[in-house]
Amino acid sequence: MTISLDDARAVYERRRAAWLAEDVDAYLACFAEDVVLETPTRTVHGHAEYEPMTRMSYQWAKPVSFDFHHLTVGDDGVVMCDWTITVARRSDGGEVTWRGMNVCQLRDGVITWWREYYQDPQALARSARGE
């Protein structure tokens, strides 16, 4: 399956807009119902697990920015993106910023699997707790 850079950019833009708007339904609509999402700290399977994780994330922090630095498309609908996210903790307004990279597969305009990496997962966890 071939995905164009414009197709990938459209999915990422939809995801960013939904995330910044805190629109859980629009955000989840960017992912296949049976998506497998792997992060440095957990793996979630499907919307049934991803929805509560997304809602907890919004309870913890307000999205501030989601910047894409590099986006590229490879074989089999695989997309790679280098990004930076900033949020503001709801408890004290403190900003938390992290840079990461993801690899995912797009099919029919949605993300079917997602794997992401952070520069320093332990530092991010400490910052998220306000330490």
Residue 27: which CATH number? 3.10.450.50
Query: 123 or 77: whose pLDDT is higher?
Result: 77
The parent domain of residue 103 ranges over: 5-128
Per-residue pLDDT tens digits for 48-79: 999 999 999 999 999 999 999 999 999 888 99
Overall number of domains in the chain: 1
Mean pLDDT of 100-123: 89
Give the per-residue pLDDT at 123.
Answer: 65
What residue type is 122 in one-letter code? Q
> What strands, in cross-sheet order, belong to the sheet with 78-89?
43-45, 31-38, 110-118, 95-107, 78-89, 61-73
Distance separating alpha carbons of residues 37 and 35, to the nearest angstrom: 6
Q: What is the pLDDT of residue 41?
A: 85
pTM for this prediction = 0.90
Amino acid in the structure at residue 29 = A
